[in-house]
Amino acid sequence: MRISENILISSLTTMRLGGPAKYVIEIEQPAEIPEAYNFAAQQNLPVFILGYGANVIGHDDGFNGVILINRMRGIEIVTGGQIKIMGGEYWDDVVSYTCERGLTGIEALSKIPGYAAAAPVQNIGAYGQDISQTFVSADVYDSAAGTFKTLGRQDLNFSYRKSALNTTAKGRFFVISITLALKHGQMPRPFYNSIERHIEEHAITDFSPQSIRTIVSAIRAAKLPDPREKASAGSFFKNIYLTAAEADFAESKGYPVHRGQDGNKINSGWLIEQAGFKGALLHGIRVSPTAALVLINESATSYADLAAARSEIVTKVYDKFGYWLEQEPVEITNK
């Protein structure tokens, strides 16, 4: 367990905003978790659990508390297609590991930046797959009870970009490891529209997990900035999910509605683009010219800059279409 003081949150998150955190504790073994919580309790300080920092925004005043970072590593095939992943593993390394072994279930989640522990928290998803489809269990530390336990799928109440871990039990559980149930084979067709287009354009006939991973990686590379190269929190707004009646109405207005197994939705990036923001620079924040759902920090130096840019986008989209955009990244605050 390593304890550091006054570490800038901007150095821990890919959007590169945020003042100093009073303490940062890096955890390398499960036994260190209760020690870290005891340290915070002795200091009478709140705790925030941080992973890779790709979906987190810091505030200018920093965090008068303790940030915990999972540094536990390891991947193990338990039995059959079940795979146990320590929470500190970089997520794309996990996808690479499974695809190399011909396991299907998470190949469409390639190149999502972050650590494995965050996958069930946000129920990460892309191109027709999400974690809830393969999730079996998570070994966690329950900070409220002061005990280690295992949470099953029924405990997490998964929904779009949500689970109990970021809603009703937000901040309560420190995820040590997750277990997923994968299988040998390939994703069923039809694939997500952008994957089908790529297949047709490149005359691809191999739909193995490794091939789908290559396709998804190429699609993401063409549209999404690498947060290691450009300061970004990835997709900044959630897509708009609609009831069947709402989807019918949206289509009558000429809006492109995607109807799939995961529900009816309008891509928020399309709304932002139609509102005239694609490629725009607002308060030092650039709306990506290739994927309007992504905001890039080109020269913003404060949370206020980001908030001003966000407000302009949200307000104009609502005025034009009547939909409120919801921010996807979580925030580290002292409130």
CATH number for the domain that contains residue 280: 3.90.78.10
Do 177 and 79 share a structural domain?
yes
Please name every residue paired with 297 in a beta bridge, in sequence order, or none if there are none.
285
pLDDT (tens, 9 = 90+) of the chain, 335 residues, equals 999 999 999 999 999 999 999 999 999 999 999 999 999 999 999 999 999 999 999 999 999 999 999 999 999 998 878 999 999 999 999 999 999 999 999 999 999 999 999 999 999 999 989 999 999 999 999 999 999 999 999 999 999 889 999 999 999 999 999 999 999 999 998 898 899 999 999 999 999 999 999 999 999 998 888 888 899 998 899 999 999 999 999 999 999 998 876 788 999 999 999 999 999 999 999 999 999 999 999 999 999 999 999 999 999 999 999 999 999 999 999 98
Domain membership flag for residue 210: no
Residue 25 belongs to domain with CATH number: 3.30.43.10
Do 316 and 297 share a structural domain?
yes
Q: Where are the alpha helices (DSSP H) in 47-160?
A: 91-100, 118-122, 153-156
Please give the structure tokens belonging to residue 232: 């970004």
Cβ–Cβ under 8 Å, residues 101 and 122: no
Domain membership flag for residue 137: yes
Active site (catalytic) residues = 161, 235, 328
Do 12 and 104 share a structural domain?
no
Do 66 and 81 share a structural domain?
no
Q: pTM of the prediction?
A: 0.91
Residue 124 belongs to domain with CATH number: 3.30.465.10
Closest CA to 179 of 102, 258, 94: 94
Please give the structure tokens belonging to residue 331: 């925030």
Final residue of a structural domain among 184, 218, 242? 184
Domain of residue 41, residue span: 2-70
Do 178 and 79 share a structural domain?
yes
Do 169 and 93 share a structural domain?
yes
Final residue of a structural domain among 184, 219, 243? 184
Do 155 and 127 share a structural domain?
yes
Domain count, the chain: 3
